[in-house]
Structure 1
Amino acid sequence: MSELQKDFLFVLIKSLSTSEKRQFKLYVNRLGINVDAKFLLLFSELDKMKEYNEEIILEKKISSKQQLSNLKAHLYKQILVSLRLNPSHQNNRMQLREQLDFANILYQKGLHKQALKILDKAKQSALELDEKTIASEIIELEKVIESQFITRSIDGRADELIRQSSEISLQNRYATRLSNLSLKLYSEMLTHGYIKNDEDREKTIDFFDKKVTKIDLNKLNFTEKLWYYKAHVWKNQLLQDYKYTLKYAYQWVELFHQNPEMIKSHPVWYIKGNTYLFKILFLYGSIRGIEKSFEKFNNVVKSEIFVHNENSQSLIFLNYYNTLMNLYFIKGDFFKGTKLIPELELKMEKFRDKVDEHHLLILYLKIASMYFGSKNYQNTIKYGLKIINSKGNIQEDLLFHTRILILMAKFEAGFDDDYDDFVKNTLKFAKKMKNPSDLHFNIVNFFKQIGDKNSTEQMSAFKEFETKLEESEKNRYDKRTLMYIDIHGWIKSKVRNVDVIEIIKEKVKTK
């Protein structure tokens, strides 16, 4: 896997479908002069490999060590050109850019009226599809042609182009400001996690408010509204204001439902919007809300208006299985949920090269949690260790809560051999976290205490810790920690001597 990740060309070739490989070979042989081209021999050799091995290429004398880098770069470019010509990869944005390229060629040949005719049609399409960036490029080329040549195409042409250019420039400025804000908030969420104190909360609100002042939602077009809703979703996620996260995630999705033609142009953002909507509905325990929205989402992505490619398929995969698992969790159907795991693992393997590691580890955490709920503690530990032992830049919260789930499983299963060592290592991990809270240490110390106690003393410890957790649930900054793994529900089940499933069902009824 590490070798595969290192070589981009090998990864690209392995991602090609049978039809794409066939088209590539037809493309390079189109003039009958590339049959023995070295880059085609390299393509065939890499296609046969299961793992990238540079030594085989050198042994077969396809290329020398010194020339291999250039040969690989040339092959990479030829594959991309071939893919660009494939109808399955064509979309509105690419078609508009193609028209812009054609107009540029005609302009350079001195065929100015023909260039303007293509540009005018492309501009109308770009404006209808809300592709303002491309529309701006088209207008700039129109201005170049009109300012250099006397075309006499339309009376008042200069005034019209100036007006259009000014309007689009203003709209692009709004879109840029909102997209920058959205990206910054999303980056903060990934790198630093959720807001952990009042000072950070005030800083985030102040930063956000300064960026959105003087923006009138009613005057925004589709793309600007999309960025506006995204920025609000990520801001409220950071602040852990889930009521408003739900509000803006819903508006994000509804924006597409009100403009269904935009789903084809922006399939990724349609999927992402639904992902956040389902996630927040899960936190609210809204079974009916998830099922209703999930059904609508599945109908859309299976319809003719939806554009399917490897990227959208991988995102649909994540959305689909995360949501299914979440439904099993809030219904307490753990045993039913474990039956989904073999199918899920096959899909994970299929999309492993298309999905980032963090999202795959989240699925492993869900699998481990599902096994815990079904009392299969050995598998809980097995899948939890997959997360802990994985390499790469992994979120601290994910690693910490995986460790807590493993401790819960070790306690339930009576695995005493390395229990104390695991508690010590978890405490060391908590101390190394960037911003650990008192709750993090309270949880670890609780597991440290119950390890050496008899059953009566353990029950007292469970009751005492339940009181602490009830206090923590009142703290807005501790809420998120208790949402990762339902340790509070597990503690309650111990105190009341009932199955954790009963606690979950009671919680859903209350919500």
Structure 2
Amino acid sequence: MAELQKDFLFVLIKSLTTSEKRQFKLYVNRLGINADAKFLLLFSEMDKMKEYDESIILDKKISTKQQLSNLKAHLYKQILVSLRLNPIHQNYRIQLREQLDFANILYQKGLYKQALKILDKTKQTALELDEKSIASEIINLEKVIESQFITRSIEGRAEELIKQSREISKQNHYATELSNLSLKLYSEMLTHGYVKNNEDRSEVMGIFNAQIKNIQFEKLNFTEKLWYFKAHVWKNQLLQEYKYTLKYAYQWVDLFYKNPDMIISHPVWYIKGNTYLLKILFLYGNIDILEESFEKFNQTVSASSFAQNENAQSLVFLTYYNTLMNIHFVKGEFFPGTKLIPEIELKMERFRDKIDEHHFMILYLKMAAMLFGSKKFHESIRYSMKVIESKGNVQEDLLFHTRILILMAQYESGIDEDYDDFIKATLKFAKKMKKPDDFHFESIAFFKKLNDMTPDKQMKLFKEFDKKLEVFSGNEYYRRSLLYIDIHGWVQSKVKSVDVIEIIKEKVKYKRKA
């Protein structure tokens, strides 16, 4: 996102569709007194801007410098109120809370029986949708009404509410413990990355076992099971135990297919579950199951009942194109894969403000790798540099492997004017990494030697490095490093004097037999 576009109000206005803008203007003019309201003038002016420029607002005397902050805050709130009223944003959570608000209003007016009738109906819906937090709020209000007023609503009402309250409290406890565990493991993955040694492994297992031991799976409902599977997926990803990551990612997605109504209620977690499942199937290279799962995902997210909001659609975009490119990688279909690049870049612009920089950089790296496989080495370097020069928060491993891809492309293309300088810069980068390992330094040493050797000695070096990569690939803590860029496949293609596509096709054939 450009610096000038970081104003929250400006970004919100630019995210509005034509119909949403029209509805907003109708909303603020509904009483005929806001036609010249300053916040509406501010909206119109900001809507015209391509980049946010405060001086234009001040020059047109829409507001003074001192008043502008309050005016923007008021406009921001009015836009959100208007969006809340828009049918497209009326999901079941908003509807449940709206009913709870109505019940509160009736309670405050002393219309207790009417309030209880709304609360009872809303509570049943909340429980059916496994929205226990909202159900808990409803029960609390029911208890307030029942304890203050003689409603004579139902015989044994107190016992019923006490039983429901205890049951939901227990379920909320499970959900809290599991969601805390999932968040902690996810934080570990983002902060420290994948485990590099037995010490890291023990630390992760300590965190996991401390909170999972008291959970009885058979007592969990949908939401708790969802958090349970998430925690196991993230734990096994940290440990690089892909067999179990696949197991729990499958159970995560299958939980939704067994409860199809929850796909509509929790579209984001349905997408996320498929993201992990499709990713791990790619890492396994099982193309048949990958394509089958991908087709099922596409059918679901393409249904008219699936969430059409920008958040869900931006996540669908990431999962769809990452998986589509992964399928091309597994099959060695680099040339067809490069044809996706203009289409992906066009959609990247659409979701520029909705997706973090790291995910965009992953897409750019995949584009660069696809171009490398298509022997478009100049283009590969150009797209790789988008990752290297990114000012966003990009993971170290991603940056390092992008550098390796650039060195591979420089070697293949003969563009080696700054090869030695780039080697030095890459070594400097590796030394500054939080947890550099032998793979990083061995890779740099290989490329450093490679450029100064005659072809016959280069072959010897390729063979030596191939053996080292075999050792690395057998070590569970290094295995992850070989998945970003298939440097091993590239080295093997040199040793066997074949195109790298042939190496990939051989791997696919092997996986299909397995």
CA contact (8 A) 2:377 2:413 kept: yes
CA contact (8 A) 1:4 1:10 kept: no
Show CA shifts across 1:284-313 (max 9, x none). Answer: 101111110111111111113312110011
CA contact (8 A) 2:489 2:504 kept: yes
Q: Which runs of 4+ in 1 moved over 3 A?
A: none
- The residue aligned with 1:298 is 298
Structure-2 separation of matches of 1:469 and 1:241: 19
CA contact (8 A) 1:139 1:161 kept: yes
Structure-1 separation of matches of 2:213 and 2:252: 20
SS in 1 for 2:110: coil
Structure-1 separation of matches of 2:340 and 2:433: 34
Show CA shifts across 1:359-397 (max 9, x none). Answer: 010000000000000000001100000001010221101
Structure-1 separation of matches of 2:365 and 2:2: 22
Structure-2 separation of matches of 1:327 and 1:182: 29
- The residue aligned with 1:275 is 275
- The residue aligned with 1:391 is 391
- The residue aligned with 1:431 is 431
Task: Kindly state the Cα deviation for residue 212 of structure 1 after the two structures are TM-superposed.
Answer: 0.8
Q: How many residues align?
A: 511
- The residue aligned with 1:52 is 52
Structure-2 separation of matches of 1:250 and 1:483: 21
Q: Which moved more, 1:148-157 or 1:28-37?
A: 148-157
Structure-2 separation of matches of 1:224 and 1:493: 48
Q: Which moved more, 1:296-305 or 1:157-166?
A: 296-305
Structure-2 separation of matches of 1:285 and 1:438: 26
Task: Kindly state the Cα deviation for residue 5 of structure 1 after the two structures are TM-superposed.
Answer: 4.0
> Counterparts in 2 of 1:36-435, with a 5 A limit?
36-435=36-435
Show CA shifts across 1:172-208 (max 9, x none). Answer: 0000000011111111111111000011111211221
CA contact (8 A) 2:236 2:245 kept: yes
Task: Kindly state the Cα deviation for residue 3 of structure 1 after the two structures are TM-superposed.
Answer: 3.2
SS in 2 for 1:417: coil
The two structures have a TM-score, normalised by structure 1, of 0.99
Show CA shifts across 1:437-475 (max 9, x none). Answer: 011100011100111111111111111111111111111
Structure-1 separation of matches of 2:190 and 2:413: 34
SS in 2 for 1:263: helix
- The residue aligned with 1:499 is 499
CA contact (8 A) 1:331 1:505 kept: yes
Structure-1 separation of matches of 2:305 and 2:27: 29
The two structures have a TM-score, normalised by structure 2, of 0.99
Show CA shifts across 1:186-245 (max 9, x none). Answer: 111111110000111112112211211131212110000000000000000000000000
CA contact (8 A) 1:139 1:165 kept: yes
Structure-1 separation of matches of 2:3 and 2:370: 32
SS in 2 for 1:34: coil
CA contact (8 A) 1:100 1:119 kept: yes
Structure-1 separation of matches of 2:6 and 2:290: 39
Structure 2 residues not aligned, in runs of 5+: none
CA contact (8 A) 2:358 2:392 kept: no
CA contact (8 A) 2:5 2:51 kept: no
Structure-2 separation of matches of 1:219 and 1:306: 29
Task: Kindly state the Cα deviation for residue 76 of structure 1 after the two structures are TM-superposed.
Answer: 0.1
Structure-2 separation of matches of 1:214 and 1:389: 47
Show CA shifts across 1:242-298 (max 9, x none). Answer: 000000000000000000000110000000100100000000101111110111111
Structure-1 separation of matches of 2:3 and 2:442: 42
CA RMSD of aligned residues (A): 0.8
Structure-2 separation of matches of 1:322 and 1:429: 27
Structure-1 separation of matches of 2:450 and 2:214: 56
CA contact (8 A) 2:246 2:281 kept: yes
Structure-2 separation of matches of 1:312 and 1:288: 27
Structure-2 separation of matches of 1:464 and 1:237: 30
CA contact (8 A) 1:365 1:383 kept: yes
CA contact (8 A) 2:5 2:52 kept: no
Show CA shifts across 1:6-50 (max 9, x none). Answer: 200000000000000000000000100000000000000000000
Task: Kindly state the Cα deviation for residue 100 of structure 1 after the two structures are TM-superposed.
Answer: 0.5
- The residue aligned with 2:485 is 485
- The residue aligned with 1:7 is 7
Task: Kindly state the Cα deviation for residue 352 of structure 1 after the two structures are TM-superposed.
Answer: 1.0
Structure-1 separation of matches of 2:426 and 2:432: 10
Structure-1 separation of matches of 2:417 and 2:350: 36
For residue 376 of structure 2, what is the amino acid of its counterpart? N
SS in 2 for 1:473: helix
Task: Kindly state the Cα deviation for residue 508 of structure 1 after the two structures are TM-superposed.
Answer: 1.6
For residue 234 of structure 1, what is the amino acid of its counterpart? W
1:474 correspondence with 2:474: yes
SS in 1 for 2:306: coil
Task: Kindly state the Cα deviation for residue 4 of structure 1 after the two structures are TM-superposed.
Answer: 4.2
Structure 1 residues not aligned, in runs of 5+: none
For residue 59 of structure 1, what is the amino acid of its counterpart? D
Structure-1 separation of matches of 2:267 and 2:392: 29
Structure-1 separation of matches of 2:372 and 2:449: 22
CA contact (8 A) 1:181 1:211 kept: yes
Q: Which moved more, 1:215-224 or 1:358-367?
A: 215-224
SS in 1 for 2:61: coil
Identity fraction in percent: 75
Structure-2 separation of matches of 1:150 and 1:138: 18
